[in-house]
Structure 1
Amino acid sequence: MPLRVLVVDDSNFFRQRLKEMIEQHPELTVAGVASNGREAVEQARSLKPDLITMDFEMPEMDGITAVRHIMAERPIPILMFSSLTYEGARITLDALSAGATDFMPKDFGEVSRNAQALRDKLHERLLTLGRQSRASASATRAATRLQRPAPEIADPQESPAPASRPAVGKRHYRLLVIGASTGGPVALTDVLVNLPARFPLPIVLVQHMPENFTRAFAERLDRQCQVRVREAKDGDALEPGLALLAPGGKQLMVDGRGSVRILDDQRVTYKPSLDITFGSAAKHYGAKVLGVVLTGMGADGREGARMLKQSGSTIWSQDEASCVIYGMPMAVAKAGLSDKVLSLKDIGPRLAREVG
């Protein structure tokens, strides 16, 4: 059954072009269209689509408010369209915090030309989000059917005592590198807010994002977290309690002098790429790196994680149940590279406890 999409935008031109592009894929169909946030909430309630594409600036009710209403009634994957500006980035981050799943740039030039690259990217995003949502719903239903009441224990004293676990000593790390893609802005926030201001390691963050977005994201994280966060610049020093976010459209590498290099490498698909950052960390920090792979589409980070493991470093990955998209961490786990597979809610506290 095709995935049913609700298209929400106040521009009739954009609605029609999106509708045409979406329906060019046999696994996608447009269930309805809405021209403002209020209509979107009503259509989401009545049509029960599998996915929603959402604009921000609309009459009667803006996109963020609509996202909050929709997610409160029936959580559903929502793909936001955003302008590639600093203000557009700030608004998109607000939408992701409100419950939107992912975002794409809103470029009228590309849409009017019906560029194949844009159409293919739109199809990939919608299909990935929709399939993940359906798979999660099916797993939840199956788990509910299989649930059975726990057997009663007549005498609590007869229940076996839990086996004691030996204490595990802390490893000595020199650098923490965390990477993410789809779902990453919320996941990274959840991790970093748990870290104390005096966190003893330098932190490098790699989030798949376009230019302009990373500066707004770093500023947002800096306001929310106890550790300091800023967008990385070439030559920035790695300092304990400071998180440097790789700038969108560039590559971040660490060097052997305790600083970062920002490069414009056009040969790599992801900019920034976790593979590039992990690889440089493996080269210069050997076994002293803790790498963490969070939610995201694709397999970026797997080969870099392999290099880190070969150098003796440690890799944690997020579990499937807490991921928005179980792509990047799945690639690492399936390759046998994860030392720990953890729920998102546990990663920040474990870092604070075992490293901090």
Structure 2
Amino acid sequence: MTINVLVVDDSAFMRKIIVDQITPLSGIEVCGIARSGEEALRLIPKYQPDVITLDIEMPGLNGLETLRLIKKDYDIPVIMLSSHAGEDITIEALELGAMDFIEKPQNLMKVEGDFAVELARKLRSIVESGVAQPVVGRVQKDRQFPTRVKAIVIGASTGGPRALMTLIRRIPAGLSIPIFIVQHMPAGFTRSFAKRLNQEAAVTVVEAEDGAVITGGTVYLAPGDCHLRIKDDQLSLSKESKIHGVRPAVDYLFESAAPFYRQELVGIILTGMGNDGAEGMAVIKEMGGYTIAQDQASSVVFGMPRRAIEANVIDEVASLNEIGERLNWMIKVKQWM
């Protein structure tokens, strides 16, 4: 199967960079190039692309306006190309239905290898997400949901921002336990994302800070490019090497929270590509905590939940709406200490 990509960017140099990165990739081809949003809308019926890469900042019909019109008429995955100057707009694009985004190289004269790797991974994962595959794994259906919960940890990647926005709106103001989130996202963008979550939430959402004392009733989002761990009653950030090709990593958060909260911890793995989170879920389960994975039907990319299910470390598989109901119930019942 060949993945056909429509590249949309007003910069001739940036178009060339993207095309040059895609050309050597097996099974992925550039089917067309558009220099503006208006041209992109004319070319979509002609080329019928599988994926569109879309620049956020363009003259005339900008990236957000183009995205709105694409999502109105087509069900084509869109990956936004964003710069640090467009962090807030990028978060808005994800809310509007963009599947994911990639940070533009800061130095266009020196494109780092990470850009090509990330572009290839996201193109492949988004298209492969549309192919249903059987899940080989065992869910521990005999486990009862815990009546005492002291903390919740959540991990997400591709599709995560929209999923987390949905969940955050379900959390009532009576939250009295901490919630910790790792969303795969570059540095700077998590600050905008935390701000946006906080605007939508009835509780306080902040970007995690190193050494901060953990407070009940607060939602902590791991900063981009920093691993987040729980050390006793404090947050710990580090810049150590990436694992699974990402930083922050879900595994580090889950593995550090499990021995601290033990059987009173709930771990949730949401939509995302790759296998980050499966090993951390295993530690949560080993320590007696309860584990939930988002189901395939409601996941944008079923990679991370699938790996955890196939590792036999999941107690419950649920839709995004069902997970939201679980969160709401946990908080309202107030049976924790």
Deviation per residue, 1:139-193 (Å, 9 max, x gap): 9xxxxxxxxxxxxxxxxxxxxxxxxxxxx77520111111101111111111111
Q: Which residue of 2 aligns with 1:235?
A: 211
Structure 2 unmatched runs, 5+:
135-143, 333-337
Report the residue type matching 1:177 in the other structure: V
Alpha-carbon separation, structure 2, partners of 1:41 and 1:97:
20
Look up the SS of the partner of 1:296 in the other structure: coil
- Aligned to 2:129, the other structure's residue is in SS state helix
Q: Measure the CA separation in 2 of the matches of 1:343 and 1:74.
A: 24
Question: What corresponds to 1:176 in structure 2?
Answer: 152
Task: Give how far 1:238 is off.
Answer: 2.2
The answer on 1:202 being equivalent to 2:178 is: yes
Task: Check the 8 A contact 2:102/2:118 in 1, yes or no.
Answer: no
1:160 is matched with none
Question: Within 2, Cα distance between the matches of 1:304 and 1:72?
Answer: 39
Identify the range of structure 1 (298-307 vs 345-354) with the bigger mean alpha-carbon deviation.
345-354
Taking structure 1 as the reference length, what is the TM-score of the superposition?
0.86
Q: How far apart are residue 74 of structure 1 and its match?
A: 1.1
Relative contact order (C-alpha < 8 Å, sep 6+): which is higher?
2
Higher alpha-carbon Rg: 1
**Number of aligned residue pairs:** 322
2:96 aligned partner: 98
- Give the 3-state SS of the residue equivalent to 2:119 in structure 1: helix
Aligned CA distance change for structure 1 residues 326 and 260 (closer, same or farther; 3 Å) = same
The answer to whether residue 69 in structure 2 is matched with residue 69 in structure 1 is yes
1:76-225 correspondence to structure 2 within 5 Å: 76-83=76-83, 85=84, 87-107=85-105, 109=107, 112-113=109-110, 115-133=112-130, 135=131, 171-225=147-201
Say whether 1:262 aligns with 2:237: yes
Residue aligning to 2:8: 8
Whether 2:288 is the aligned partner of 1:312: answer yes
Alignment check: 8 A CA contact 2:295 2:305 kept: yes
TM-score by length of structure 2 reads 0.91
Please state how far the C-alpha of 1:94 moved relative to its aligned partner: 0.8
Cross-structure match for 1:20: 20
Q: CA RMSD in A?
A: 1.8
Identity of aligned residues (%): 37
Q: Supply the distance in 1 between the matched residues of 2:226 and 2:283 (Cα, whole angstroms).
A: 21
Quote the offset at 1:264 in angstroms: 2.2
1:251 counterpart = 2:227:
yes
Question: In terms of mean alpha carbon deviation, does 247-256 or 114-123 score higher?
Answer: 114-123
- Superposed displacement of residue 331, structure 1: 0.7
Name whichever of 50-59 and 269-278 sits farther off. Answer: 269-278
Measure, in 1, the Cα distance between the counterparts of 2:330 and 2:173: 15
CA distance in 2, matches of 1:89, 1:325: 23
Look up the equivalent residue of 2:302 and give its one-letter code.
Y
Unaligned runs of 5+ in 1: 140-167
| Alignment match, 1:148 | none
Deviation at 1:45, TM superposition (A): 2.9
Once the two structures are TM-superposed, the CA of residue 117 in structure 1 deviates from its matched residue by: 3.7
Q: Is the 8 A contact 2:105 2:111 kept in 1?
A: no
